[in-house]
Amino acid sequence: MAIGVFDSGVGGLSVHRALTEALPQADFLFLADQAHVPYGGRPGEEIVALTRNGCEILFQNGADLVILACNTASAIALRRLQQTWIPDVRRRLGRPVNVLGIIVPTIEAATGLPWEHEAERRGGRIEKLDVIGVFSTPGTAASRVYEIEIDKRRQDVAVFSEPCPDLARLIEEAAPRARLEAEVKGHVAALSRRIGRAPDRAILGCTHYAIIDDLFQAALPRATPLIHQPKAVADSLSLYLARHPELNPGHSGRRDFYTTGSPGPATPLLTAFWGGPLAFAACPVNSSAANRF
Ligand code: DGL
């Protein structure tokens, strides 16, 4: 059995890398739905259907647990799938599978509080407001998940989201660095104008953006902390697996990389991020749902 890692495209590799560092012996299947990337501007129902299809492929190929290494899918599809679909999958496959997202651990890292914690509303003066900027796809920004969930837990933290409609596609297409740099600078400037100053901390709330985190770091004021989503997810997965021994992550260190798009080597941008050659194989089981959009 194995851990499945799913994203619309290559962004999920930023999470995959942190997961494999934390669990080197586990078996990992990575699936990029490059036939349908980007997800960020799609209607919610499409995101749910595509995410379900990706998880189905990973479950069919031996994953016990799927990590949605995609903020958009985690914000829009995760709860629906957990509540209305996973129980059927368990019955059908006759084994205890599950799907988890990446937003909960990121919010835990940003607030410094466990998910169960909700702040008591006391009123009173807040001495210093900590402003977090979230850069994300339009879908994640429209869900307002970071604003809502952080506000429930920390009254002294304000969240401002900046939707970046073209950035995941540009990273997927390995656009020239100057083009990516201009795009990132434009979004950092737009967000700072809206806040009235630069954010105190930032979340790269789309896994694609971690591939160019150096450009965000350079566009933000010096030493602005980036809340590291891949590490937050890896820390929380290790704890989750310890609590769920019924889910088998495998033990042979297997690493498979699949795409619903064109198989072949990764782009130069991704190869540089990965630190070596990487190739995607054709998706092993093709469910008919994959061709609906
Ligand atoms: N990498 C994804 C995320 O974290 C989605 C990018 C996209 O397909 O728009 O939101």
Task: Clarify whether residues 138 and 219 are in a common domain.
Answer: yes
Domain range holding 172? 105-228
**251 CA to centre of ligand 1 in angstroms:** 29
CA distances in angstroms from 50 to 7, 34, 136, 203, listed in the order given: 10, 11, 19, 25
**124 CA to centre of ligand 1 in angstroms:** 38
Q: Is 133 exposed, middle or buried (0-12, 13-18, 19+ CB in 10 A)?
A: buried
When pLDDT is averaged across residues 230-258 and rounded to a whole number, the result is 96
The count of domains in the chain is 2
Task: Clarify whether residues 117 and 215 are in a common domain.
Answer: yes
Question: At 267, is the secondary structure helix, strand, or coil?
Answer: coil
**CB-ligand 1 contact for 74 (6 Å cutoff):** no
When pLDDT is averaged across residues 158-178 and rounded to a whole number, the result is 98
- Average pLDDT of the chain is 95
Q: pTM of the full predicted structure?
A: 0.95
Instruction: Decide if pLDDT at 292 tops 70.
Output: no
**Integer Cα distance of 59 and 246 in angstroms:** 15
**CB-ligand 1 contact for 39 (6 Å cutoff):** yes
**CB-ligand 1 contact for 140 (6 Å cutoff):** yes
- What is the predicted pLDDT for the residue at 119? 77
Task: Clarify whether residues 25 and 95 are in a common domain.
Answer: yes
- What is the predicted pLDDT for the residue at 290? 46
When pLDDT is averaged across residues 166-183 and rounded to a whole number, the result is 98
Residue with CA closest to ligand 1 atom 2:
70
Tokens describing residue 289: 């749902």
55 is catalytic: no
Instruction: Decide if pLDDT at 124 tops 90.
Output: no
What is the 3 state secondary structure string of 72-131? HHHHHCHHHHHHHCHHHHHHHHCCCCEEECCHHHHHHHHHCCCCCCCCCCCCCCCCCCEE
34: domain CATH number is: 3.40.50.1860
**9 CA to centre of ligand 1 in angstroms:** 7
Task: Clarify whether residues 56 and 135 are in a common domain.
Answer: no
Task: Clarify whether residues 127 and 210 are in a common domain.
Answer: yes
Task: Clarify whether residues 113 and 183 are in a common domain.
Answer: yes
Task: Clarify whether residues 109 and 220 are in a common domain.
Answer: yes
Residue closest to 227 by CA, chosen among 119, 90, 130, 101: 130
Give 21's DSSP letter.
H
Task: Clarify whether residues 86 and 144 are in a common domain.
Answer: no
CA distances in angstroms from 101 to 6, 20, 98, listed in the order given: 10, 17, 10
Domain's final residue, options 212, 228, 244: 228
Task: Clarify whether residues 143 and 256 are in a common domain.
Answer: no
**CB-ligand 1 contact for 78 (6 Å cutoff):** no
When pLDDT is averaged across residues 99-126 and rounded to a whole number, the result is 90
- What is the predicted pLDDT for the residue at 287? 53
Q: What are the tens digits of pLDDT across the range 209-241?
A: 999 999 999 999 999 999 999 999 999 999 999
**CB-ligand 1 contact for 137 (6 Å cutoff):** yes
Instruction: Decide if pLDDT at 288 tops 90.
Output: no
**138 CA to centre of ligand 1 in angstroms:** 9
Instruction: Decide if pLDDT at 70 tops 60.
Output: yes
Task: Clarify whether residues 30 and 133 are in a common domain.
Answer: no
Domain's final residue, options 198, 228, 258: 228
Pairing state of beta strands 279-282 and 264-265? antiparallel
**What whole-number percentage of the chain has pLDDT above 90?**
92
Task: Clarify whether residues 76 and 142 are in a common domain.
Answer: no
164 is catalytic: no
Pick left, alpha or beta for residue 242 (phi over 0 → left; psi -120 to 50 → alpha; otherwise beta). alpha
